[in-house]
Amino acid sequence: MMTNFVLVAIAIATLLFLAYRGYSIAAATYSMATLSAISAAVTGFGLLTWLFTAIFLACLLFTVPSLRLRFVSKPTLITMRRMMPPLSNTEKEAIDAGNVWWDGELFSGKPDWRRLLSGSKPVLSDREQAFLDGPVNELCRMVDKWQINHELNRLPESIINYVREHGFLGMIIPKRYGGLEFSPVAQSEILLRLSNTGSGVSYLVGVPNSLGPGELLIKYGTEAQKDHYLPRLASGEEIPCFALTGPTAGSDATSIPDTGTVCMGEWQGEEVIGMRLNFSKRYITLSSIATLVGLAFRLKDPDGLLGDVKDYGITCALIPHDTQGMQIGRRHLPIGDAFLNGPIQGQDVFVPLSFIIGGPEMAGKGWRMLVNCLSVGRAVTLPTTAVAVSKRSLLGTSAYASLRRQFGIPIAQFEGIQKPLARIAGLSYIIDAARLQTIQAIVEGNKPSVASAILKYHTTEMARQCVIDAMDIHAGKAVVKGPKNYIADMYESMPVAITVEGANILTRNLMIFGQGAIRSHPYVMQEMTLAHAEDSQETIARFDTTLTAHIGHSISNFARTLTMGLGLSREVVPSGNLHLLPYYRHFNRLSSLFAMITDVALLNLNAKLKFKEMLSARLGDLLSMLFLGSMVIKQHEESQHPEEEWPVVQWALDYLLHQYQVAFDQLMENWPNRWVPGVLKRLAFPIGRRYPAPKDSLEKSVVELITVDSATRIKMTSGLFLEVAANNPLAEVNQVFLESLNLQPILKRLTRALRTGELEKAEDMELADAALQAAMITEHEAEQLRRFDRHLMAIIHVDDFDESELIRAPYHKYGQDDQQQITG
């Protein structure tokens, strides 16, 4: 009996070791042949010997190419062809957008951390920093957000002209066309600084430098189009917008009903082949002031004027705003900040074929153009918006919670306040790390489409939680509107970021895992392509090679998950940071688990997984937590104050691990086949190891760190516009907070005197007078206390208005004169 036990233990250990280290199946075949022979010699031809022999034969089946082809690869290929429908052109173009970056490492189950850490640290050039310190700061000084949002409902002409004249609209345009040619990091930092001005100005700058005519022209335009339009866009002579969304085509953008029909028509006195466009668009940012409209429509050629193709599909063109038949200039009224957004219609708008971006050769390639541009732009603009919201929430709330006292102590000392305050700090760190590290990957030439979807969903959702927590902590201070309120406009505007560029529900349920499993998995895309390729010996041979590698990949991740779950692995990680060592191992382990679950899901649910949106969303959450945790680790590795900021980083990593655990548990609870989660749960957590939420003691440490003027607080709120002025109430509350820290020695001295009875209880300025009279402070110190009290009360007070000030002119007054304001 003991001999059998030893042989079984050796067999299990051998197979686990070979699979864990990724050895070929041949090594397992030889090992099992040896064990089978030993077993026969020692114990005879009993059950154990036959078991080893059966495993040997199974390994042999995969080792011998002819056997593997006949009994494994060919039947699998036939099954995949029958069960898996081919990808549509739309799906192919969406999946082909961008490239595989760190997401591919996470799908592998064995992430190469050296690859991630070898990336450069995000930096600004001297020229970019000078622009931030010059024109960007000046623009922030000019903007009165309260006036724009609550009195004008539009941007003043002076602001729009300043933006145009100082090159803000040409940040992505190359220098040779007159643009600034700033890096994505600089674009993000500029938008972050402009957050003080509200969404109206931020979107005026952000939209032309994101998905729109400028980027499409740079990547796909003809030389003539570039030479004509890019200098005009860079100088602000042209203001662009891009019209994609329509009344019946939102998330399903490829179903747009807008058409362009190839036909003969008159253009500038000549008969030419062109397109007659009919379209109805809505939610188009900057449409009311745009002079150049990027338009997406479905191009058809019923008379065959261009060739044999009758329906080219989605096409993108540039249309001047004053083209006959174009209806443009009216406004929507979006929630929150007053940014320019409106509808565009066109009836029988005739333009030449040369208006197609890239010329007639790019007819029908519009969707590919859009998704390729979106894979980059979506990682910049909206994550930057999320960073702005989280940083502003952190700065304002940490300051206000330190200043506002109830029951004689700052509310930041109440545990009920500390939990949401710590959450703001931790989520803010995650958002900023994900933004900076992903944008730096773009700088280095990546186009991370899956990562951009992760950022779009999770950074905006985390930012929404930050501003909700900020609202709760500020209480009445945040719910009363007025020039002093630095929270309410963010709170009201957050749904815009949640909704645009792929609504968050769509992004989480369909895009993150749905596209990631095909795009980022090391083998699935190759297998799907080969499954629907021409049937030939070469196809079968390539499929056999890919399938064999995929099987080895799955077995290896199975072994890695079990081994690491039992605590038997201590992988070497590329870090000297002792705090991070266990977290590298946690994320390695959970990456293997994720890779294994992905293969099980694809095998067990196959094509049905596409329609299991709730399961797909949770699989996407597993991937997202791994990705976001990796970005936090890299951000911390680059920190100049790693020891001081560690409580915030630990909170972030513990939170993400816990969210992975929650997603895993929910996935298992809702898996259609009950035997699958039963096996997976025991493999994932064989000794019951779990990932709890951040501890209360850790959250207290985080709050202590952000309610003093620490290097960590300064770093986590850097990038904001913090010049103290009447149009910057956020900077004012922070300034009073810093003033309170400087007065702590005096205040502590007086507090002790009150407790000992040396000083009678008094309030506010009376306390300063009483302390001065008792000779406990100097006249200078008394004046400091009086001045601080005046500043503090200015912060605590909220705005009030005369009834006549609340009567606003009808909104329609501002709906139709914007176009004349810009182009008249």
CB atoms within 10 A of CB 173: 27
DSSP-assigned letters across all residues of 435-469: HHHHHHHHHTT--BHHHHHHHHHHHHHHHHHHHHH
Name the nearest CA neighbour of 148 among 336, 329, 332. Answer: 336
572 Cβ partners below 8 Å, 6+ apart? none
Q: Output the CA–CA distances (angstroms, integers) from residue 450 to 33, 103, 107, 454, in the order listed.
A: 44, 7, 12, 6
Q: Which two tokens stand for residue 270?
A: 């000549």
Our answer to whether residue 501 is catalytic in this structure is yes
Give the span between the Cα atoms of 784 and 525, in whole angstroms.
Answer: 68
188 Cβ partners below 8 Å, 6+ apart? 380, 383, 384, 387, 435, 436, 439
Kind and range of the H or E element at 767?
Answer: helix 764-773
Q: Do 523 and 553 contact (CB within 8 A), yes or no?
A: yes
DSSP-assigned letters across all residues of 20-88: HTT--HHHHHHHHHHHHHHHHHHH-SSHHHHHHHHHHHHHHHHHSHHHHIIIIIHHHHHHHHHHSPPPP
CB atoms within 10 A of CB 690: 10
CA geometry: angle at 713 spanning 579 and 455, to 5°? 75
Distance of CA 784 to the CA centre of its chain: 45
By the 10 Å C-beta count (0-12 exposed, 13-18 middle, 19+ buried), 253 is classed as: middle
Name the nearest CA neighbour of 32 among 15, 13, 48. Answer: 15
Tokens 């094509």 sit at which residue?
607
Q: Do 406 and 353 contact (CB within 8 A), yes or no?
A: no
Which letter does DSSP use for residue 609 in this model? G
Name the nearest CA neighbour of 633 among 689, 691, 575. Answer: 575
Bridging pattern class, strands 259-267 and 292-300 = parallel
CB-side neighbour CA atoms (13 Å) of 688: 0
Q: Which two tokens stand for residue 261?
A: 């029909």
Q: Which two tokens stand for residue 272?
A: 């030419």
CB-side neighbour CA atoms (13 Å) of 325: 13
Give the span between the Cα atoms of 194 and 101, in whole angstroms.
Answer: 30
Q: Do 90 and 53 contact (CB within 8 A), yes or no?
A: no
Choose, from 189, 461, 501, 527, the residue flagged as catalytic. Answer: 501
Q: Is the dihedral of CA 29, 35, 39, 41 positive or negative?
A: positive
CB atoms within 10 A of CB 771: 23
By the 10 Å C-beta count (0-12 exposed, 13-18 middle, 19+ buried), 84 is classed as: middle
Kind and range of the H or E element at 406?
Answer: strand 405-406
| Positions marked active-site | 501
